[in-house]
A = this chain, B = another copy of it.
Amino acid sequence: MELTSLYLPSESLSEMYRLSLVTLAVLVCSSSLVTGGKVLVFPVDGSHWINMKVIVEELHARGHEVTVLCPSDPWYIKGDSPFYKVININSPAGFDRDKFESYVIRTLDIRRQGASLWTRLSLVHDLMTQTYLMHKMVLQMVKVIFEDDKLMQSLHDANFDLVLTDPAFGGGVFLARRLGLPLVFNARWTIQGEGHEVIAPSPFSYVPITGSELSDKMTFIQRVKNILYYLFTCIQTWYVVRSNYKPFAHHHISSDVDYIELFQAADIWLMRNDFTFEFPRPTMPNVVYISGFQCKPSKPLPKDLEDFVQSSGEHGVIVMTMGTLVEKLPEDVTEDIAAAFAELPQKVIWRHKGKKPSTLGNNTLILDWLPQNDLLGHPKTRVFVAHGGTNGVQEAIYHGVPLVGLPLLFDQQDNFFRMASRGVAKVLDYGTVNKDIFLEALKEVLYEPSYMEKMKQLSSLHRDQPMKPLDQAMFWIEFVMRHKGAAHLRTESYKMSTIQYYSIDVIAFLLAVNLLVFACFSYVVKILCQKLCRSKVKKE
């Protein structure tokens, strides 16, 4: 059959679904708009807010009322918005952005210039301390909320339908419990181990720990690495939970409440990935995969940018951005990158802040900001050079643009590993990248057709879903509103002890019974033998 060929028809199919789902959304909204739902959002400030904001704005568009709890000195979160109401919390200790930024700069320097083992270890220690402080700060914010009787009363009186939170930090979990509200997560992954007890039982043999840069097909050594990585995350979790969340839960909720249990009791997990990004793995019925929920069809470019893009002719365009966290790359790197670009016949649009490289070619346009989504969706775009933030990678999948990766920090390397293992990205090492390496990688992705073909295939798989990811997110949030939770979709097995959960008691019991039966049988055989021997002796 020739239902549809791979890419375009699936895209147009997807658009037809979209059309139909718009009708659907209108129909549903016409019902839910009557009174609208009320959502209390406990977000994670910083780049995580970029994702949460998309959901918040869509909730608003569907007639729900959104209230965002936000530190009094927010970072990415805007204090005034037509889409949501903000409650500022005067938390005593704010997040030290300068320290965080200095950590980022130090890390990049060390990756580039090398450093002693001691310095590298101190960097890990710094990261752990930063993380610890962030968790502490979030809990201090929750403490301020809990201790403000007037605020708590107003939150109770507001009759929220649910708490929506990013579980990277546990504040929203406590809030939902104290207010007795259903809990919806908007998560990419969590330090509580994501898949390994929290979501679904996930064998180490084929479910790689996020961040481990492993796939679902591992060699023996890789499987060893995966378990070691898991043990490391366990220590991290134990440290963070024990030092922060455990005492907080005991003090502010109840002395017999375990934080991990509160966490696992979430009604719905909106996971910011899917199986064009993640490797296939066990999951649970209350986990909804919404990768690419922030993606949308591209809009036309501004006239001057469109002219520039069109001037690339048959060679097409390369788009490059390094995200918002690292605004400036070191000069030696940007010089090399600019020089590499200059040798290509393609046109290049590069989001770059800082000094203009001296090696910049005529084909390269430097911009302070660029319409990333519209550029990625432009038919002339051939390659996306990116740092590997989840959003950028998922937008590349959505638009079917192969990647050249220059991962810098955190999960970026792991994100790119996923893409490279699917043959849709070439990944470079920030520590060693130079003009030649960069140029070679670009040429490979530009001129080896498999990159583009595989990315188009991946894109068509990603887009071919029964429902658009953002509509799915809305459906399940509204489901929780309608049914006051999603109890029938989530297991309560986390309430079991480890011994019960792994059936250790049952296996021990069955072994004991077996041993007993064997012992009795042996005893009977022995007695019979003895009697037989005696009667033989007597006869003799």
Query: Footprint of B on A, CB under 8 Å?
Result: 1-4, 6, 9-10, 12-13, 16-17, 19-21, 23-24, 27-28, 31-32, 34-38, 159, 161, 200-206, 216-217, 220, 223-224, 227-228, 275-276, 280-286, 289, 460-461, 464, 466-467, 471-472, 475, 478-479, 481-483, 488-493, 496, 500-503, 505-507, 509-510
Contact = CB atoms under 8 A, between A and B. Distances in A.
Contacts of A204: 503, 506
**In the assembly, how many copies of this chain are there?**
2
A216 B491 contact: yes
B37 A9 contact: no
A282 B283 contact: yes
Contact of A491 (B206, B467, B475): B206
A227 B224 CA distance: 30
A280 B489 contact: yes
A491 B220 CA distance: 18
A507 B316 CA distance: 51
Contacts of A19: 27
State the 3 A-B residue pairs at the shortest beta-carbon distance, nearest first: A20-B24, A16-B27, A206-B493
A6 B500 CA distance: 36
A40 to B, nearest CB: 12
Most chain B C-beta atoms within 10 Å of own C-beta, residue among A220, A289, A464, A491: A491
A205 B200 CA distance: 13
A27 B224 CA distance: 50
B1 A159 contact: yes
Given A9-B31, A23-B20, A502 B280 contact: no
B483 A461 contact: yes
B224 A509 contact: yes
A464 B268 CA distance: 15
A43 to B, nearest CB: 21
Contact of A201 (B21, B202, B461): B202
Most chain B C-beta atoms within 10 Å of own C-beta, residue among A3, A38, A204, A475: A3
B506 A223 contact: yes
A455 to B, nearest CB: 14
B201 A505 contact: no
A283 B284 contact: yes
Contacts of A3: 31-32, 34-37, 161, 478, 481-482
B275 A280 contact: no
Given A205-B493, A284-B282, A506 B27 contact: no
A495 to B, nearest CB: 9
Nearest to A493: B206
A482 B4 contact: yes
Contact of A475 (B24, B466, B489, B490): B466
B284 A1 contact: no
A492 to B, nearest CB: 7
Given A37-B3, A224-B506, A505-B220, A280 B491 contact: yes
Contact of A205 (B16, B460, B503): B503
7 contacts: A6-B482, A20-B24, A216-B492, A224-B510, A227-B506, A280-B286, A466-B475
A31 B17 contact: no
A443 to B, nearest CB: 28
Contact of A23 (B9, B23, B492, B505): B23
B464 A467 contact: no
A32 B510 CA distance: 56
Contacts of A21: 20, 24
Contacts of A489: 275, 280
A488 B274 CA distance: 10
Given A1-B38, A503-B204, A510 B31 contact: no
B280 A283 contact: no
B282 A200 contact: yes
A1 B161 contact: yes
Contacts of A481: 1, 3
